Structure 1
Amino acid sequence: MSKAEVILCADGHYRRVIYGIGSYLADYPEQVLLTCIVQGWCPRCLASRLNLDGDERIPCHHDHTKLLMEHFTSTLLWKEYEIVDDILPFTASFPQADIHELIPPDILHQLIKGTFKDHLVYLPAIADYLPAQMVQAITAFLDFCYIAHQASLDEGDLDAMMDALQRFHAERVIFEETGVRPLGISIPHIHALQHYVDLVHLFGAPNGLSTSITESKPITAVKKPYRHTNGNQPLSQILVINQHLDNLIHYRNAHHAEGLLDAPLVANNIQAEPLFAVEYDDEEVNFQDDENLDEAEDVVEVTEALVELAKTPSPRHLRTFSGMGEEIGHPELSDLVAHFVYQNRNPNAENPDECPPILTRGYSYSSAVAVFYAPSDLSGVHGMYRFQGLYVAQVILLFSFSHRNIFYPCALVRWFNVIGDQSCSKTGMWMVEPEFDENGDRVVSVIHLDSIM
C-alpha cells in the first residue's frame, strides 16, 4: 500500500501506518509455489531450465509475466517461460513489492543440504577414492559456503566468493565427463550460487540464514516445555509454561528499556578467582595504558567450548585403572593417570616422569557431550582457534576420578602430527599422521576434558 492507515497500536496510541513486506524465507518447493513457476526453474531469473547457469540471467518481474500471459498460450508459457498460466504471485497487487526480489538465500537447505547433502562428513572419506578434480570441485563449493556463512562480508570476501564459484564451475565438468551428469548440470539449488553476491548487496551478509530458524521454533514452544510437564494432558501445561516465559521476556525488556539492566549484576568489588595464575609482562601489554587498550583486547583469548561426560558411567561402579587399561589394550593407563595428576599439581616439576602412583579408582563412560561456541565469522574477535592453534588426538577412553577432593574428568588419547606446513591442495584440509615415540610406539597420554575442543 502507498497510503497511510490510522490504526490503534498495542500501547494505546493511534498512528499512521504504511504496511510493507520484507524478505520471504522459504525452501525451494515453497519458492516455486510463491512465485507461481514450474518446478526446475529459477524463482529469481528467466534462465532456461536446460541451462540454468548460462550467461543470461534476466530478472523475473510481474509486468513481464503479465505481458507474456496476454500473448502466449498456457503450453508455451509452461515449457518456455516457466510460468503457470492464469496465476499471479500474491505480490502482483502490491505497489512496491515483487516476490521474485524478496527471496533471500538459504545456506543450509538450499546449498549445503540441497546440493551435496552430507558432504561435510564424506569429503575426508572420499578424498582417496574419487578423481582429484571431483574432490576439488566439492572443495571449491565448500569454500563458497564457508565464506557466505560469515557474519560480515566486504568486497574482498565477495571477490573470494566469486573466485570459489568460478573454480567450482571449472572443476565440476568432471561430473559430466565421468557420466555422473551426462546431460549437464542444471540444478536450481546449484544455480542459486549465481545470485548470492547480488543477494548480499540487497540483504546483507546471510550470517547462517536458513529455514532451520523457523523450523527450530517448535523446540522452544513445544518440545522443551513438554519436558517440564508431568505427561498427563500436557497441552494446558505447555500453554501455561509459554505464558510464563513470555511474561519473563516482557519483564526483562521492560527493565532493559528503563536502564535497570545496564549496570553489572555483581558488584565491581566481587571478582571470581582465576583458575590459573596468569602473569603479564607490563612491557608487552599494559592494560592500564589507553594507547595499548586495543592491543590488550586482542591478547585476551576467550574460548567458550564445553565438553561434559555422560550423566551415567558405564558400568556404574568404580573400577581400577589397571582393569580399564587391560580392557582397552593399554595396561599403562595407571601410570599415565599418575603422570597426569602429578603434572597437574606440579606443572614446574623438574622430573615429571618420577611421580608417585595413584591408588584411587574411577568410572568409565561411553560418551561425552560437546557444546561449541562457533561464530559465523571464524576469524572474528573471540572466535575459535584455527587448526594451526590446536593439536590433533583420537579419544580412546573417557573416564573420571577424584583425587584429594578434586574431580578430574579425563580422556585417554592417541596423538597425531601434522604433515607439512600447508593444507592439502586437493581437499583444502590438513593431513595428519600418527605420532610415535623413540621406541616406535604410539604416543598416548591422559588429558583433561576441558582441553578438548
Structure 2
Amino acid sequence: MPPRRSFRPRNLICPVSGCNKLLSAQSGLSQHLNAAHRRPSPPAPSSMLLPLSPTVPSHEDFPLHQEPTSEDESQPQPSQKDSQSNFCTVCHPILNGRPCDAQGNFLSAGEPPVPASPRSDNSFSPFEDREQFEVTNFLFQRSQMPAGQIDFLMQLLASKYGDPILDNADHMKALIDDISNGDIPWQSFAGQYSGVIPESNPPPWMAREYEVFFRCPHQVGQNMLGNPDFANEMDFAPKRVYSQQGEREYQDFMLGSWAWNQANIIAQDEATHGSMFCPFILGSDKTTISVATGQNEYYPLYMSLGVIHNSTRRSHRNSVALIGFLAIPKTDRQYQNDPAFRKFRRQLFHSSLTHILQSLRSGMTVPEVIKCADGHYRRVVFGLGPYIADYPEQALLACIVQGWCPRCTAHPSNLDEGGISRSREHTRLLMDALDTKALWDNYGAIGDIMPFTVNFPRADIHELLSPDLLHQVIKETFKDHLVTWVEEYLVLKHGKTRAAVIMADIDRRIALAPAFPGLRRFPEGRGFKQWTGDDSKALMKVYLSAIAGHVPSGIVRTFSAFLDFCYLIRRDVIDEHTLSTIDDALARFHRERVVFIDENVRPEGFSLPRQHALVHYRRLIILFGAPNGLCSLITESKHIKAVKELYCCSSKHNALSQMLVTNQRLDKLAAFRVELAARGMLDGPLPGLLTHFPLSPPPPQLAIPTTKGSLPTDDNDDEGAIDGDQVEAEVVLARNPKTLAHTLGHPTLSELIRRFLYDLIHPQADTPGSDVDISPCPDAPPRIIVYPSAIATYYAPSDWSGSSGMRHERIRSVPSWRGEPKRQDCVYVNADSSVPGFSGLHAARVLLFFAFKHAGVTLPCTLVTWFSPVSNTPCQDTGMWIVEPDADQAGQRIKGVVHVDTIVRGAHLLPVFGDEFVSHTLEHTDSLDAFRAFYVNKYADHHAHEIAS
C-alpha cells in the first residue's frame, strides 16, 4: 500500500484559483481570512478559452482557386472570446457573415445595427396590460389549465373582485390568436398511391389519402434566426478553434469541418461572398401515446438551426421547433409485407420531406437578406444540415436495407470489416450499372427510390446522418447488448437457477449505491419491464461495480472501456487529445468484448449495425462537432412538450387538429414574450401579490457566498442547471443554520478546530497542527453554527447545465433524510491543482458543516473523515480508483477540519463487493459504513469522469 497522503490543511489548494489558501504566518490571520473569501474573476474554462497560438493556422483545405476579393474577406474574423487571449478562433475568410443593411449592402466594420422601426405604441396589445398577458401566459403555457377550470376560476374571481382579468377560456384563446408575432399557420397536403391500381379487389391502402401537416420551415427558421434571445448564442460564420498547442477543438456545430467545407463550396459563387451560411438541422421519430383505449401514433418532424450553440439546443428555449406531422400509412396484416406497400411508404416519406422543405430551396443558392438575433441584417445562404434519427429511421432516410450501414458499404454479415463510404454519386453509379436485386444483395441499396436530399443542392443524406447517442450507445450497445450478454453469460456458466441467484445479488448491489445528487436509485435493482433512456443512463453509473466479482475480469474491462468511450463522446468540448483517447477506448472495447465470443455468448460475432456505428463517431465529431448537440435525446425530450402534453390537453377526439392549434398558440405566446422582453416591458416585478410570486420564474439563486449572493429558495433541490458567471468550483454553506454546543456527537471537534486554526496561522511550520502539542493552538470558538448542507457550484458543460455551462449540487450532512437514517455525503477535496485527475484530489466524507468566528472573520468549515487510495493507479479492470477509510490504531476513522473553499464538489463512492454476496438486511444508507473499500465512481456524471479519472 502506498504511503498515506498528508491531510494538513495548509497543503490544500484553492479549487478556484489554484493558489495556496493558507498564507504565511507573517501575513497574519486576518489577511488570510479576507483572502479566503475573495472570489477571483471567472476563469476561462478550458473548453472555451485557450491561449492564442503564436501563429494563425493556415487554410490548407480551402479549395478555391481564386484569391479573396477584398481585405475584409481575406482576414480571419476574431471571436469576442479572443480578448481572453487563451485560444485562437479563425472564421471562414469568405462566408464570414458580414453585417449589411436591409437592402443587402455591407456595412463598414464596427458600424452598429440599423435600428428597428419603432412600434407605433408601447402597449401590450392585444392584451390590456402586463397583468392580463402574464395571467394568460401562466394559465395557457405554464400550468396548461383546462378550459373548464379556467372558466370556474374566472367566475370565482368575479364573484369576489368584480370583473376578472379574463372573461373565460375562450376570451383567453381569442387574445392569443390576435398575437401577430410568430404566427406561422399550419398547412396540409394529401399523399396517395399513384401506381397502377388493380381493377378487382384493390388493397384498401391504395385508395386512401394520407394527410401531412406542416408549417413553412423558411418562416420558422427566419423567426428563429432573428430571435434576440439567441443574440449571444449563435455563430454567424463557420469557425475553427485552436488551443495554445495548436490543437483543433470541436464543440458547437459551426466549429466542425462540415460547415467549413460547405462554405468553401458556396464561396465558389462570388455573389455569395460575405454571406452567412445557415444550415437547417432536422429530426424525426415516431412516438406513441398510450392511453386506456389503445395507442395513438404520431410522426413529428422537428427543425433547428446549426448556427445556434449546442447548449441552447439541448435546453430547447424555442431553438427546436415542430414543423410537421408526417403520415403513417397503415394496412391490415394481409398487405403489411407487400413490396408495393413498403415502396409506397418510403415514397410518401421522401416526397413529404421534399414538399415541406421546398421553401428553402431558392435560398440555398441565392442569398436572402434576413435580420439576425444581434440586430444586424445579413445575407443568408441556407443548407440542409444533419438529420437526427435512430437506426430504423436512418435506414429509411438513406434508402438502404435493414442490417446494412447507412454510411458505408460494409456487409451486414461482417460489419467490422468496414467498406467504402456511401455517397449520392456512388449510389447513382451503382443504380446505372446494376439491377435492383444486385443492388439489394451486394450493396444493401434500395434501387427504385432516391433519398429526398437529391432534390436539394449540396445535400447528401449519407453524410448528413448525425450520431445517435441515445439509441446507438445508451439504449442499444449498453442496455440491449452488454447488459443482456451478462445475463446470458451467467445462465451459460451457472445454469438458470444459480444465475437467478447471482442476478438477484447484482440487483441488491445496485440498490446499495449511496445517495448522490442526480443519481436515480434502483431500490429493486434493474428488474423492471419498461426501460427509458433515463433508466439506461442511470444504470450506467452504478452497474460496473455491481457485476465486478460475479463475472470474469474480461467482461468488467469490456464495460469499463465502453463506458469510457461513452462518457468521452458525450463531452461538451472534444479536442484532438480527446479524439485520441476516444480511439483508445474504442480499441480497448473491441479488444475486450471478444470475451463474449470466448464464453460462447456471441459465437456469431458482433456484426451489429448500432455497435458498428461507433467506428464512425470520430469522423462525425470532426464534421459536426460534439455529438451531444445533435443527439436524439433532444427530439425525444421535445416529444413531451410538442406532442404528449398537447395530446393530454386535447379532448382526445380529432386530437391532432387541436394539437396543431395549441402548438401555434404556444409559439405565438413565446414570440410575444421575447418581443416584450426586448422592449423592456417585462422588467421588474408586478405590483402587489405578484412581487412575491412572480409569474415568470427567475433563475435559481442557490448559494450564500460570504461577500455576495442570495438565500436559496428550496432546500430540497439536490442538483440542477444554473445560469451565471463561470467559476471552476465554489462551495458555500446553505441556509437554516443552528447554533449548537461543541459536543454534537463529536467530542474531538473542539480539539480539531484548534489544530485547524494552528495550521491557518502557521502554514510554514515544520510540524503540522495534527502533531503539535495542543497548548500552542488557538482557543476554540465559544459557539459554532451548524448547517445541514452546502451548495457546490461548478463548471460542467457536458452535464445538464445552464447556458454558461454552470450547474449546482447540494452536499448534505444531516442526522436523518426523508424518513431514512443519517445522510453524510462524500466530497472531493483539492490536494494539488497542478496534478490532473484524482491524483490531485482527496476523497472525504462530510460529518458536519459548520461556521465560527475567529479574529472577527467567519470561517465556513466542514468536519470530515478521510479516505486514501489503496494503490498509486486505478483498478486495472474497472478503471476506477479504489480507496479505503483512514483509521487509527484503535480502528476509529480519522477526522479532520477543512475550509469549505478546499472542497471541489460532491463525490460518489461505491462499495467494492468482491465475490461475496451482500446481506439482505443492508440498506443503501449503510453502505459507506459497512464496507472496507470503495470505488471512486467516475461514472457518476460527466464532470466526475473528467476530474476523477
Structure 2 counterpart SS, 1:362: strand
Are 1:109 and 1:211, in contact at CA under 8 Å, matched by a contact in 2? no
Give the superposition deviation at 1:97.
1.6
Distance 1:213 1:384 in 2: 35
Shift of 1:415: 0.9
1:336 corresponds in structure 2 to 752
- Aligned pairs for 1:4-403 (under 5 A) are 4-5=365-366, 7-10=368-371, 19-28=382-391, 30-37=393-400, 40-53=403-416, 55-62=417-424, 65=427, 71-72=435-436, 82=444, 87-106=449-468, 110-112=472-474, 114-116=476-478, 117=536, 118-145=539-566, 148=569, 149=571, 151-154=573-576, 161-178=582-599, 180-181=601-602, 183-203=604-624, 206=626, 209-211=629-631, 214=634, 241-243=673-675, 304-312=728-736, 317-323=738-744, 325=745, 330-341=746-757, 343-344=759-760, 347=763, 351=772, 353=774, 354-365=777-788, 367-374=789-796, 385-395=836-846, 397-403=847-853
* 8 A contact 1:320–1:362 mirrored in 2: no
| Shift in Å, 1:417 | 1.7
Q: Distance in 2 between matches of 1:15 and 1:58?
A: 39
SS of the aligned residue for 1:164 comes to: helix
CA contact (8 A) 1:89 1:99 kept: yes
Which consecutive residues of structure 2, in runs of 5 or more, have no partner in the other structure?
1-360, 479-535, 643-664, 681-706, 708-725, 799-832, 905-949
Contact 1:4 1:17 survives alignment (8 Å):
no
Q: In the TM superposition, what whole-angstrom CA distance separates every residue of 1:88-132 from its partner, at most 9, and x where no partner exists?
A: 322122242211112343556643565324434333443333311
Shift of 1:33: 4.6
Whether contact under 8 Å (1:38, 1:84) holds in the other structure is yes
- Quick one: distance in 2 between partners of 1:341 and 1:110? 54
- Alpha-carbon spacing, 1:166–1:407, altered in 2? closer, same or farther (3 Å): same
What letter matches 1:400 in structure 2? F
Deviations 1:249-268 (A, max 9, x none): xxxxxxxxxxxxxxxxxxxx
What's the CA shift string for 1:50-101, capped at 9, x where partnerless? 4432x1323233455565598336xx97787555675532212224221111
Distance in 1, matches of 2:463 and 2:635, equals: 23
**Structure 2 residue matching 1:445: 3-state secondary structure:** strand
Shift of 1:151: 3.7
Counterpart-to-counterpart distance in 2, 1:245 and 1:42: 47
* Aligned-residue offset at 1:341: 4.7
Shift of 1:390: 1.3
The CA deviation string for residues 213-242 of structure 1, in whole angstroms up to 9 with x for no partner, is 856998xx99xxxxxxxxxx9999865553
**In the alignment, is the contact (CA less than 8 A) between 1:40 and 1:187 conserved in 2?**
yes
Give the letter aligned to residue 446 of structure 1. Answer: V
Quote the residue 2:236 is aligned against: none
CA distance in 2, matches of 1:356, 1:443: 22
* Cα distance in 2, alignment partners of residues 352 and 29 from structure 1: 72
CA contact (8 A) 1:308 1:369 kept: yes
CA distance in 2, matches of 1:19, 1:303: 37
Aligned residue pair count? 369
Mapped contact 2:834–2:840 kept (Cα < 8 A): no
The structure-2 alpha-carbon separation of the partners of 1:310 and 1:21, relative to structure 1 and needing over 3 Å to count, comes to same
Displacement of 1:334 after TM fit? 4.1
Tell me the residue number matched to 2:174. none
CA deviations on 1:248-293 (whole Å, 9 max, x unpaired) are 8xxxxxxxxxxxxxxxxxxxxxxxxx9xxxxxxxxxxxxxxxxxxx
1:392 shift after superposition: 1.8
> Do the aligned partners of 1:105 and 1:209 also contact (CA within 8 Å) in 2?
no
Letter in 2 for 1:340: F
CA distance in 1, matches of 2:734, 2:670: 28
CA contact (8 A) 2:733 2:790 kept: yes
- The structure-2 alpha-carbon separation of the partners of 1:303 and 1:431, relative to structure 1 and needing over 3 Å to count, comes to farther
Deviations 1:163-188 (A, max 9, x none): 43332212102223435545433333
- CA change 1:7–1:199 in 2 (3 A) is closer
Distance in structure 2 (CA, Å) of the matches to 1:14 and 1:338: 65
SS class of match (1:175): helix
Aligned partners of 1:185, 1:438: CA distance in 2, in Å?
53
Q: For residues 51 and 44 of structure 1, what CA distance do their matches in structure 2 show?
A: 15
Q: Provide the alpha-carbon RMSD of the alignment.
A: 4.5
Change (3 A) 1:207 1:49: closer
Counterparts of 2:753 and 2:672, CA distance in 1: 50
Residues 1:448 and 1:188: Cα distance change in structure 2 (over 3 Å): farther
Residues in 2 aligned to 1:246 and 1:34: alpha-carbon distance in whole angstroms:
40
- Any conservation in 2 of the 1:108–1:208 contact (CA below 8 Å)? no
Q: Give 1:391 deviation, angstroms.
A: 1.4
Contiguous gaps of at least 5 residues in structure 1: 223-232, 249-273, 275-301, 377-381
Q: Which moved more, 1:92-101 or 1:58-67?
A: 58-67
Distance 1:34 1:339, change over 3 A: farther
* Aligned partners of 1:137 and 1:167 also within 8 Å: yes
Contact kept? 2:621, 2:627, Cα under 8 Å = no
After TM superposition, give the deviation of residue 386 of structure 1 in Å. Answer: 1.6
- Determine if contact 1:77/1:83 at 8 Å carries over to the other structure: yes
1:438-453 equivalence runs, <5 A? 438-453=889-904
Partners of 1:235 and 1:10 lie apart in 2 by 19
The alpha-carbon distance between structure 1 residues 159 and 4, as it changes in their structure 2 partners (threshold 3 A), is: closer
In 2: Cα distance, 1:235 partner to 1:146 partner: 35
CA contact (8 A) 1:5 1:16 kept: no
Q: Could you tell me how far apart the structure 1 residues matched to 2:633 and 2:679 are?
A: 23
Counterpart residue number, 2:100:
none
CA drift at 1:193: 1.9
Shift of 1:426: 1.9
Residue matched to 2:482: none
Distance of aligned partners of 1:200 and 1:409 in 2 relative to their CA distance in 1, 3 Å threshold: same
Measure, in 1, the Cα distance between the counterparts of 2:581 and 2:751.
51
Task: Measure the CA separation in 2 of the matches of 1:61 and 1:235.
Answer: 37
Tell me, in whole angstroms, the C-alpha distance in 1 between the residues paired with 2:452 and 2:562.
34
- Tell me how far apart the structure 2 counterparts of residues 247 and 59 of structure 1 sit (CA, whole Å): 51
Instruction: Please tell me the residue identity of whatever aligns with 2:743.
Output: S
Against the structure 1 CA distance between its residues 77 and 13, is the aligned structure 2 distance closer, same or farther, given a 3 Å change threshold? same
Calculate the TM-score normalised by the size of structure 1.
Answer: 0.64
**TM-score, normalising length: structure 2:** 0.33
Instruction: State the AA in 1 paired with 2:595.
Output: I
Contact 1:150 1:208 in 2 (8 A): yes
